[in-house]
Amino acid sequence: MKKFSLKPQGGSCMKMFCKSWLFIGLLATFCLAACSDDDDKAETPVFPAKQNIVCNAGETTDFTFTANTNWSLASSAIWCKFKSDTTEEYVVSGTAGTHTVTVMATDDDQKIEKASVAKLELTMDGETIVIGEVTRSAVGTELKIFDLEGNEIDKTIGLKVGYDNFAQFKVKANFRFAATNLPGWVELQGGSFVGAVDKEVTGGLKIIQDENREKYPVEANIEKNVITFADEEGKAFYEFPVYYEGMNPTEIKLTTPTTFATGWVVTMDGKTLTQQSIGGTGTTTLQRRLPFTIKTLEDDYVIVFMSKGWDDKIHLVGSMYDFFTYDWMHCEGEKGNLSIIIDEYKPNSWNGDPEERSGYILAFPREVYERDIKDKEEEVILDEEGEIEYRYEQSNLIMAFTQKEVKEETGPKSFLIKKSGYEEISATQATDEDILNLLQGNYQLENAKVYSISADAGNYFSIYPLLSDSEWTGEAYVINREDKDVEVRLETSMDSDGMYLGITIPTPFTEDLIVVFKGTDWIFKKALVITPAN
């Protein structure tokens, strides 16, 4: 971005000199134009969108715009000028590019009864459009902002926006005012902010989190991020920039596919990752990688890899106790969207490699790592028994796993079920006697054909009954324990794994749902019981 610099115009002593060269200049211009080819035609002007800014008497503010050809910018009011280090002008000009000019408001022709508005008119290729309006408050109005200790906050510094809590401030004005404008990412404490004449009022600002924007600081910028205080009669307008320092640099938030990080099993080829749920009600299966998100200030974090060593205790990967001299756990991705990948394991008995190996992967905000952990990982992360400290297991552990030989299940599968359309989970044999009796008596379904999973309200599942096209063409019913129909969103579709029934769990979800699959021969083939997880 170019900071535009103003230059004073030449004096009258240059006029004769300029006139004597005028004809030569025009002739040269004509010759150049005649010799140029068709590609040198004038650029069609593209005008920027109009901006509205506030600049009160005695203040200056920056105004940035982009022009795609030669331009001039003019102020329509005597009290609104363009200021540089040495000059004050009503018209400035320049070439194509992005430019910033400094707008200055004086007290000339200031009104008592109403605010004044100056237009900033941009001219390119003979066409003029208003690209800015500068508002100056009426004479005699005054508004000041203070911190909670009573210190006045300078407009160049701006108002702080809080992260978890509202950053508070005080406002006092000699007119009745209200906060009329603020950025869409900022929340105003209480939803509104008004003040009476000469009364000090306390307000607060906090960022509206969306799991992403709160990670990054925002600088004070009078052109982009401001809060406006104005009176209801349109006499006074005061803008203050707002800024945000970012989330707490010691805070971290991890989101993984399951609710807990331990108990993962990885196949020897590293292609399948499974975790049995607490209570054994189901299994989460992932292919090749474990996706997760991490939220820290400016995506600045450190990943720590640990594993069981030859002494059967947890150590930092690469330590003297480690079996392996190479990296075999990896974290890939950008910013806060990452994945864990585990290499294939082929133990070499001649080297004394164990038949299985265990890994522990943790993440820390960089400030915490540099301050408390670096160069003493094992001392800090592990407890007296050599296990991961409970607080780090709860807040910083991404994945704890064992990589070992996994025997394939024998016999036919009951269902293929994918949570959210991709995360494979396992169903278990249903055991609820009331439901089994209902399905056996009313639907002639043997107990061996009834399975169960748990779910939360709003979950989506793709349910493959693993029936051939000749056996099932998508017909299914959803009932409750009283054998009454339940209205649930269903859809039937097909992919490379076969035909499936898509179901969205209703909200709220407090009672069991029973999905019964009916074959093409009018005989019921299978049933899946979906129970509330909590």
Q: Which of 38-42, 242-246, 357-361, 378-382 shows the lowest mean pLDDT across its residues?
A: 38-42
Give the model's pLDDT for residue 38.
46
Helix (H) or strand (E) holding 439: helix 433-443
Instruction: Print burial letters for 169-182: b (CB count within 10 Å at least 16), e (below 16).
Output: bbbbbebebebeeb
Instruction: Name the token pair of 230.
Output: 């104005």
Give the model's pLDDT for residue 180.
86
For residues 411-430, average pLDDT: 82
Task: Flag whether pLDDT at 375 surpasses 80.
Answer: yes
Mean pLDDT score of the chain, rounded to an integer? 86
Distance CA 18, CA 493 (A): 81
For residues 267-285, average pLDDT: 76
Could you tell me if residue 231 is inside a domain? no
Task: Flag whether pLDDT at 415 surpasses 80.
Answer: yes
Could you tell me if residue 410 is inside a domain? no
Residue at which a domain ends, from 344, 377, 403? 403
Q: Are residues 148 and 182 in the same domain?
A: yes
Between the two ends of the chain, the Cα-to-Cα distance in Å is 56
Give the model's pLDDT for residue 329.
95
Residue at which a domain ends, from 108, 136, 164? 136
DSSP 166: P
- Cα 324 to Cα 55, 107, 119, 315, 351: the distances in Å are 66, 76, 71, 12, 10
Q: What 3-state class would DSSP assign to 377? A: helix
Q: Are residues 506 and 392 in the same domain?
A: no
Its domain, for residue 94, covers 2-7+43-136
Q: Which of 119, 131, 143, 122 is nearest to 59 (CA)?
A: 143
Q: Are residues 420 and 388 in the same domain?
A: no
For residues 133-144, average pLDDT: 88
Give the model's pLDDT for residue 20.
38
Distance CA 361, CA 289 (A): 13
DSSP 154: P
Which residues are within 8 A (CB) of 468 and not within 5 positions of it... i.e. 6 or more apart? none
Distance CA 91, CA 108 (A): 18
> What's at 370, amino acid-wise?
E
Instruction: Name the token pair of 308.
Output: 């069981």
Could you tell me if residue 23 is inside a domain? no
Question: Greater confidence, 496 or 238?
Answer: 238
Give the model's pLDDT for residue 163.
95
Could you tell me if residue 248 is inside a domain? no
Domain with 510 in it: what CATH number? 2.60.40
Task: Flag whether pLDDT at 279 surpasses 60.
Answer: no
pLDDT digits (tens, 9 = 90+) for 146-173: 999 999 998 888 999 999 999 999 999 9
Task: Flag whether pLDDT at 356 surpasses 50.
Answer: yes
Q: Are residues 181 and 127 in the same domain?
A: no
User: Dmax of the chain from CA atoms?
Assistant: 112
Cis peptide before 48 (omega within 30 of 0): no
Q: Are residues 399 and 481 in the same domain?
A: no
pLDDT category at 412 given cuts 50, 70, 90 is low
Give the model's pLDDT for residue 413.
65
pLDDT category at 85 given cuts 50, 70, 90 is confident
For residues 355-381, average pLDDT: 95
Task: Flag whether pLDDT at 517 surpasses 60.
Answer: yes
Could you tell me if residue 238 is inside a domain? no
Could you tell me if residue 442 is inside a domain? yes
- Cα 312 to Cα 309, 358, 362, 390, 503: the distances in Å are 5, 10, 19, 19, 45
Residue corresponding to tokens 């006697």: 433
Could you tell me if residue 280 is inside a domain? yes
pLDDT digits (tens, 9 = 90+) for 166-223: 999 999 999 999 998 899 999 999 999 999 999 999 999 999 999 899 999 999 987 7
Q: Is the pTM of this model over 0.75?
A: no
Q: Are residues 427 and 516 in the same domain?
A: yes
Q: Are residues 123 and 164 in the same domain?
A: no
Q: For every residue of 207-259, which 3-state class applies, written as one string?
A: ECCCCCHHHCCECCECCCEEEEEECCCCCCEEEEEEEECCCCCCCCEEECCCC
For residues 287-297, average pLDDT: 93
Distance CA 189, CA 205 (A): 6
Could you tell me if residue 36 is inside a domain? no
Instruction: Name the token pair of 508.
Output: 């709220």
Looking only at the bridges linking them, the beta strands covering 397-403 and 264-266 are parallel
pLDDT digits (tens, 9 = 90+) for 440-499: 999 999 888 899 999 999 999 999 998 888 889 899 999 999 999 999 989 999 888 889
For residues 360-389, average pLDDT: 95
Q: Which of 1-15, 105-119, 218-232, 307-321 shows the lowest mean pLDDT across its residues?
A: 1-15
Q: Are residues 399 and 271 in the same domain?
A: yes
Q: Are residues 83 and 168 in the same domain?
A: no
Q: Are residues 448 and 484 in the same domain?
A: yes
Handedness of CA 53, 56, 61, 64 (dihedral sign): positive
Task: Flag whether pLDDT at 17 surpasses 50.
Answer: no
Give the model's pLDDT for residue 130.
95
Question: Greater confidence, 410 or 50?
Answer: 50
Residue corresponding to tokens 């005597």: 78
> What's at 242, amino acid-wise?
V
Give the model's pLDDT for residue 485.
93
Q: Are residues 348 and 431 in the same domain?
A: no
Distance CA 121, CA 91 (A): 9
Q: Are residues 173 and 106 in the same domain?
A: no
Q: For every residue of 14-68, which 3-state class applies, written as one string?
A: HHHHHHHCHHHHHHHHHHHHHHCCHHHCCCCCCCCCCEEEECCCCCEEEEEEEEC
Give the model's pLDDT for residue 369.
97
pLDDT digits (tens, 9 = 90+) for 23-79: 334 344 444 444 444 444 568 999 999 998 888 888 888 999 999 999 999 999 999
DSSP 443: H
Give the model's pLDDT for residue 11.
43
Residue at which a domain ends, from 403, 436, 454? 403
- Count of structural domains, the chain: 4
- Cα 457 to Cα 258, 308, 417, 482: the distances in Å are 16, 39, 17, 20
Q: Which of 256, 362, 264, 254 is nearest to 316 (CA)?
A: 362
Give the model's pLDDT for residue 42.
66
